[in-house]
Amino acid sequence: MINFNYETDFLIPNEDSIAKWITNTIADEGFKLEEINYVFCDDEYLHKLNVEFLDHDTLTDVISFDYTVGKLIQGDIFISVERVRENALEFNTAFENELHRVMVHGVLHYCGYKDKTESDEQLMRTKEDYYLNQLG
């Protein structure tokens, strides 16, 4: 089950198709969906989580808390809509594209992908691009 929660004045217009896309992504990676909670928020909300839980005093676009057990995907993905808008401008891409990228980014972490090294980050970007193309 995928749940969409809103802590800011923002709504995803196509929740059902996005949920199906994420579910298919998880299945393509050889995992099974238990539950993912997406929480869309603002910079202040996400910054507070970043400081409190990760001891990072910086703004970020996405934080994911992974509760996956074996091949059963579970987690909470917090997304700053403000950061996503800023990043879309910075990277000269559509807001929706950047939003979908961070949504699948969190899921890919649950599937075991990392982004701490240059080679890991390159693989993560390749996977993000692949699944963004699946969304159509």
Detail the residues annotated as belonging to a binding site: 105, 109, 115
CA angle at 57 for the pair 11 and 104, rounded to the nearest 5°:
40
Binding residues for Zn(2+): 105, 109, 115
Note whether 103 and 77 are within 8 A (CB): yes
Rounded to 5°, the CA angle 91-74-57 comes to: 50
